[in-house]
Chains A and B, each alone.
Chain A
Amino acid sequence: MRKKVIFRGVGLPILLLAPQLAVTIIFFLWPAGAAIWQSVLQEDPWGLNSQFVGLRNFQEVLTDPDWRLAAWNTLIFSVAVAGSAMSVALLLAVQADKSIRGANIYKTLLIWPYAVAPAVAAVLWLFLFHPSIGIIGRALNAAGILWDYKLNGTQAMLLVIIAAAWKQVSYNFIFFLAGLQSIPKSVLEAAAIDGARPMRRFWTVVFPLLSPTTFFLLVVNLVYAFFDTFGIIHALTGGGPGKATETLIYKVYVEGVQNTNLGSSAAQSVILMIFVIAVTAVQFRFIERKVHY
């Protein structure tokens, strides 16, 4: 028989919920509400001349070719970052999962980059790839490859992708490693006895069993590429050259902080907010049920 435990009255439960509610209200609902309100206004930076314009800011954002370019950049950037960070991490995790000498040192070293702040990571990569002061950048130019990410948009995008993916490899590595270690050995042994070669064992047994981890990481990586790579882009390219590495989140910053164009910036961040809500909803409603656990 099931016994329902219910609080009497509302005082205590509200008190117990209060910290979480306060955090949610102060750090989520309030700023989100302010952004939504701001997004329907046309204002000078000082807020002295404010006018309600309805959805005009949204309409202007969505028809702005620069915004569409940023959306396209974001798509390429996110897919590339998530894809490369996850595949490299999976490869490393599979290797680290084998019984090799010094496995612990190897694992620890692989986790280090996660502790590096984005801006610092960017500076490290800058020192490697700067065409005139970077070691690799100079080597590339000396080898006859015209390398100048300050002028070549494709190279700039490549560089920010590498730097952003590099930082995320460690995080993915930890999760993949944990995922690999939770796969029962008996399953693998059974497959081996059936005569499956290591590659086949990996793709038919290990990879499907890793799918919950993979899916979780995919969402986390996409969100990372969308929102947490601002520091790297800011320090490496500043969105340039031209607008070649300007992603949506970077454009929100440029519009709001550099150009003090609050209405448009707020409209853009509301669009991003809708996107995140949609991703979360999709994840909880549909996909998580279908992923094999």
Chain B
Amino acid sequence: MKRRLLTTSALAAALTSRLPRPAAAQGGSGPLEIQFWHGLPKPLGTQLEEIVAAFNESQPRYRVVPNFRGSYSEAMVAAIAAFRANAAPHVVQMYEVGTGTMMAAGRAVKPVHELLAESGVQIDFSDYLPPVRGYYQAADGRQMSMPFNSSTAVLFWNKDHFRKAGLDPEKPPTTWQEVEATARKLKAAGIPNPMSTAWPAWVQVEQMSAIHDVPLATLGNGFGGLGAELRVNNPLMVRHMDNLIAWQREGLFKYGGRDNAGDALFPNGDCSMITASSGIRARITREARFQWGTSMLPYYSDVPGAPRNSIIGGASFWALNRGPQGGRTPEEWKAVAEFYRYISQPEVDAKWHMETGYVPVRRSSYAIAKQKGYYEKNPGAEVPIEQLLRGGETTENTRGIRLGGYVEIRNIMQEEMEKAFQGQQNGKQALDAMVQRANQVLRNFERQHRGR
């Protein structure tokens, strides 16, 4: 028993200390190897690795070695630990919530604009969708990371349920006012779960702020510096949160759990309407035994300026230095730049879009998919792209979110929403609590990065 106790305490200690060391990148003869860690499980991971294999075949000098490292957050922590042990991968795929942390990582990362300038490789970022490239740019417009798999939030609705409730199955609600009326009819028709949501914080807080052109945080949603403060306790969000709470009480809306837990509620025919990532399209196609449609996120029609473009989710690629002392050769950076150039090609991007359900990140890839008749065969698949392009260029409030420690802040938002849905607090109190707790995280992050 003594041994058991000792082992357990050692485990407790080990939990916070370093993770196992990854194999160091090796040179030697043959093509130059580039380590690439990603966070996509099957089947998406396989499709990503196919693109990598195609790059390796397209030229003889470099070989990118893909490596699945668990979920995004696990890949992120693994990369951080590897960096501290001077064995970081050349490229790591990082989810959009980690962007603020990566931007503040200083010399740990090699920005895309530097990579391209030093290696003479060219990528035309002006062709990228503004909300996609903007999310991964510094405040001054320089590209920091390489956009890749991107999605946004949309509304899916169950046409069979609409028919049952005597509603027009081809006419989804476009505003929250209509959503409420529709949900009431669905409930009256005996449907137990008229509406739900996946990714509560991303959809109901972040996307809502963006499409109504309302700031989520000060300093341009954090693009202006580490001193930003969360500002979600504004009248629009209070109104929306109080609505959700009231609808939940009335049985018009059901909370579906954190992050992607709500995803399952739509394809199995449980809820009639769901706001979720456009990325679950493939899953719905595969699993749903009913007719369904895709539509843009609802908005409040009386808010001036609404609706604007929504923001993205997904991930981008970050080039990393080997460790705190740097340690990469120009040839290695050149290899990374060539890899980026390869994945940026519209044909590659269009293929990825059509096979996976992520949005195309470039206008020219969108054109290719159109030309191939993808949207005629897959009605609704262009909705997320149109929503991202709505209103032209992005504003300060629709460019994205650039807050440090944002993984934690998103969890805080979900926790406070859960407390509100349990009836412990109203919308204003929930949002005030989010602001107060998130600002603590932001100040802590600022303190950690001071004096850089």
Q: Which residues on A are within 8 Å of B, measured CB to CB?
A: 27-28, 30-32, 34-35, 38, 42-49, 132-133, 148, 150-153, 216, 219-220, 223, 226-228, 238, 240-243, 249, 252-254, 256-262, 265-266, 268-270, 272-273, 276-277, 279-280, 283-284
Contact = CB atoms under 8 A, between A and B. Distances in A.
A259 B15 CA distance: 14
B452 interface: yes
B418 A241 contact: yes
B255 A45 contact: no
Contacts of A43: 448
Nearest to B88: A46
A223 B12 CA distance: 11
Contact of B405 (A132, A259, A268): A259
A103 B405 CA distance: 56
Contacts of A252: 12, 15-16
A262 B15 CA distance: 11
B5 interface: yes
B67 to A, nearest CB: 19
Contact of B255 (A150, A258, A260, A269): A150
Contacts of A270: 13
Nearest to B422: A151
A242 B17 contact: no
Interface string B366-384: 0000000000000000000
24 contacts: A27-B10, A31-B13, A32-B10, A34-B17, A43-B448, A44-B104, A46-B108, A47-B84, A47-B324, A48-B106, A48-B324, A49-B451, A150-B418, A151-B255, A151-B422, A223-B5, A227-B11, A240-B258, A242-B418, A242-B422, A253-B15, A258-B73, A261-B444, A266-B17
Interface stretch (B298-306, B356-364, B407-415): B407-415
Contacts of A132: 193, 265, 268, 270
A250 to B, nearest CB: 10
B449 interface: yes
Contacts of A48: 105-108, 324, 452
A38 B405 CA distance: 19
A240 B17 contact: no
B16 A280 contact: no
A44 B12 contact: no
B23 interface: no
Interface in B417-445: 418-419, 421-422, 424, 441, 444
B6 interface: yes
Contact of A258 (B15, B261, B407): B407
A211 B337 CA distance: 68
Contacts of B324: 46-48
Given A45-B101, A47-B83, 9 more contacts: A34-B17, A48-B108, A133-B264, A223-B4, A226-B8, A252-B16, A258-B407, A259-B407, A262-B16
Name the prevailing secondary structure of the A interface residues: helix
B80 interface: yes
B422 A153 contact: yes
Chain B interface bracket (under 10, 10 to 19, 20 to 34, 35 or more): 35 or more
A-B interface, 3 closest residue pairs, ranked by CB to CB distance from nearest = A276-B9, A241-B418, A28-B10
A147 to B, nearest CB: 13
A34 B449 CA distance: 22
Contacts of B104: 44
B14 interface: yes
B449 to A, nearest CB: 5
A44 B77 contact: no
Contacts of A240: 258, 414-415, 418
Nearest to A265: B16
A48 B105 CA distance: 8
A187 to B, nearest CB: 26
A273 B9 contact: yes
Contacts of A38: 16-17
